[in-house]
């Protein structure tokens, strides 16, 4: 019956709502007029109950199940931080399959209109724009690279959308390097290499995302190389992305590297504060169109842009969660609320301190040479700061004792253990040391 109820619900509340909120529910039991569900987080339970509770009761009733009340309890322990930070990916994925093109669907949210530009990505954006104008092929291939979540896929989809608009007659194919490989392997298995080749050689614009994936996969590389050359020879546009520059992709054949380099290579730099703020602002504006009542206190966006520096995906997830939370409790989004609601994300994006930084700061503080941190000298004036640096490494990094030992000139892990214990003792017994440690820790955690 739950299956049938689900179908009806999907019709009444819409597919997006259904996928986001109802699909994660796990129907458990029906006892004494109470329907029990398992939910991934408390938040989802509350949200569903508040927003869809009546609809669920109604549909259960229509399907002949008399229920007075719904109960939600957290079930399994699925990666909570991530799952909860992305509650509503309202994707209207593009389902166009009118041709036999081998591409992957495009995300409706990834367009040029929604791409915020700033110093770190302006070159990549300009190059993408140029290619999307679809005129003559000026640089081939366009190679976009950069770290996770900096907008490579977004830009590629934007190019594809734009090209469809401007030049609907062109065959534009977007897919990941992984999908390229599966296609290739499938063709091998089905002994249809001819079909594979003619399919890929017939496209006008080929986009391959995350090309580093095919590194080390020899026959896929080989086939990719041939496809690439055939298209370039026909003056067809190719757009490639990777997580690093062509020359830096290990286990990629040299001839492919040099091929990839002969067009335009542009990188997406890590975001800066202004770009992050711009992106947040844009998301808020978009959200306001749907929910005009949204109130965000001054300083909240600035706080997020300042604190969440890792990648844009995490930044977006944080904001999505804040929106959901604020509309759930019907409150203004204040700094306090943000700090509470995003505690896990904020903790995870705390700046990572490295052992090198610790060694540098500590040796500066105690006026000793950095080389002595890792050197053999055992005089107190050197050994003590070294121990302090080891203690800080233990406290502030995720490194194991043997690893820390190695970074301190190949010392044994028992030496590190001894140092950590000694400093713990001194921290209690020696006020000066306690103050030093506190100050160093604050400086390092910035």
Q: Name the binder of 313 from Mg ion, ligand ADP, none, CB < 5-8 A by kind.
A: ligand ADP
Q: Name the binder of 279 from ligand ADP, Mg ion, none, CB < 5-8 A by kind.
A: ligand ADP
Q: Which is nearer to ligand ADP, 148 or 328 (CB)?
A: 148
**Cα end-to-end distance, the chain, whole Å:** 56
Question: How near is the Cβ of 173 to ligand ADP at its closest, in Å?
Answer: 17
Residue nearest to ligand ADP (CB): 151
Phi and psi at 134, nearest 5°, equal 75, 10
Question: How near is the Cβ of 256 to ligand ADP at its closest, in Å?
Answer: 21
Residue with tokens 């214990």: 421
**What whole-number distance in Å separates Cα of residue 242 and Cα of residue 249?**
9
Q: Is 153 annotated as a binding residue?
A: yes
Question: How near is the Cβ of 180 to Mg ion at its closest, in Å?
Answer: 14
Q: Which is nearer to ligand ADP, 152 or 321 (CB)?
A: 152
- Per-residue CA distances from 150 to 80, 309, 329 (Å): 23, 11, 32
Question: How near is the Cβ of 339 to Mg ion at its closest, in Å?
Answer: 30
Residue with tokens 């699925």: 78
Does residue 279 belong to the site contacting ligand ADP (CB under 6 A)? Answer: yes
Asked whether the beta carbons of 297 and 336 are under 8 A apart, the reply is no
Taking alpha carbons only, the member of 175, 160, 150 closest to residue 112 is 160
Respond yes or no on whether the N-terminal peptide bond of residue 52 is cis (omega within 30° of 0).
no
Binding pattern for the stretch 115-134 against ligand ADP, x by CB under 6 A and - elsewhere: xx----x-------------
Give the residue, chosen from 153, 227, 311, 393, that forms a contact with Mg ion under the rule CB under 5 A.
153
149-168 residues in contact with ligand ADP (CB under 6 A) are: 149-154
Give the residue, chosen from 205, 312, 353, 416, that forms a contact with ligand ADP under the rule CB under 6 A.
312
Per-residue DSSP letter, 190: T
Question: How near is the Cβ of 63 to ligand ADP at its closest, in Å?
Answer: 37
Q: Is 446 annotated as a binding residue?
A: no
Residue 363 tokens, joined: 């040796």
User: Cβ contacts of residue 153 below 8 Å, gap of 6+?
Assistant: 107, 110, 209, 241
Q: Which is nearer to Mg ion, 152 or 407 (CB)?
A: 152
* Helices (H) then strands (E): counts for the chain: 21, 8
Q: Tell me the site size for ligand ADP, rule CB under 6 A.
A: 17
CB-neighbour burial class of residue 291 (10 A; exposed 0-12, middle 13-18, buried 19+): exposed
Does residue 359 belong to the site contacting Mg ion (CB under 5 A)? Answer: no
The three-class DSSP label of residue 426 is helix
Asked whether the beta carbons of 63 and 4 are under 8 A apart, the reply is yes
Q: Name the binder of 115 from Mg ion, ligand ADP, none, CB < 5-8 A by kind.
A: ligand ADP
Q: Is 149 annotated as a binding residue?
A: yes
Residues of this chain that interact with Mg ion (CB under 5 A) are 152-153
Q: Which residues are annotated as a binding site for ATP?
A: 149, 151-153
Residues of this chain that interact with ligand ADP (CB under 6 A) are 110, 114-116, 121, 146, 148-154, 279, 312-313, 316
């Amino acid at each position: 019956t739950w299956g049938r109820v689900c179908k009806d619900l999907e019709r009444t509340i819409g597919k997006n709502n259904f996928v986001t909120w109802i699909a994660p529910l796990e129907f458990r039991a029906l006892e004494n007029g109470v329907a029990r569900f398992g939910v991934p987080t408390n938040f989802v339970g509350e949200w569903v109950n508040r927003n869809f509770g009546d609809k669920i009761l109604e549909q259960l009733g229509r399907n002949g199940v008399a229920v007075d009340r719904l109960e939600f309890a957290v079930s399994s322990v699925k990666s909570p931080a991530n799952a909860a930070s992305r509650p509503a990916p309202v994707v209207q994925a593009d389902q166009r399959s009118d041709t036999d093109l081998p591409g992957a669907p495009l995300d409706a949210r990834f367009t040029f209109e929604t791409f915020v530009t700033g110093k770190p990505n302006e070159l990549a954006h300009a190059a993408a724009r140029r290619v999307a104008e679809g005129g003559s092929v000026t640089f081939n291939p366009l190679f976009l690279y950069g770290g996770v979540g900096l907008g490579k896929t977004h830009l590629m989809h934007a190019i594809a959308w734009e090209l469809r608009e401007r030049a609907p007659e062109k065959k534009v194919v977007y897919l990941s390097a992984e999908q390229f490989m599966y296609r290739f392997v499938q063709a091998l298995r089905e002994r249809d290499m001819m079909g594979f080749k003619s399919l890929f050689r017939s496209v006008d614009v080929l986009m391959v995302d995350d090309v580093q994936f095919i590194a080390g996969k020899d026959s896929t590389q080989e086939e990719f190389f041939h496809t690439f050359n055939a298209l370039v020879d026909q003056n067809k546009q190719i757009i490639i992305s990777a997580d690093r520059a062509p020359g830096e992709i290990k286990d990629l054949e040299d001839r492919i590297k040099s091929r990839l380099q002969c067009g335009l290579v542009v990188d997406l730099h890590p975001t800066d504060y202004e770009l992050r703020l711009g992106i947040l602002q844009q998301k808020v504006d978009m959200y306001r169109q749907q929910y005009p009542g949204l109130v965000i206190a001054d300083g909240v966006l600035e706080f997020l842009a300042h604190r969440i520096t890792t990648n844009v995906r995490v930044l977006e997830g944080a904001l999505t969660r804040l929106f959901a939370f604020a509309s759930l409790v019907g409150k203004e989004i204040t700094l306090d609320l943000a700090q509470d609601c995003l505690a896990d994300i904020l903790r995870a994006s705390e700046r990572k301190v490295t052992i090198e930084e610790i060694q540098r700061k500590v040796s500066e503080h105690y006026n000793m040479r950095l080389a002595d941190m890792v050197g053999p000298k055992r005089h107190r004036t050197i050994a003590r700061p070294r121990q302090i640096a080891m203690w800080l490494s233990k406290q502030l990094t995720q490194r194991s004792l043997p690893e820390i030992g190695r970074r301190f000139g190949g010392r044994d892990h028992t030496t590190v253990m001894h140092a950590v214990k000694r400093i713990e003792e001194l921290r209690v017994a020696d006020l000066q040391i306690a103050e030093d440690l506190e100050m160093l820790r604050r400086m390092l955690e910035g």
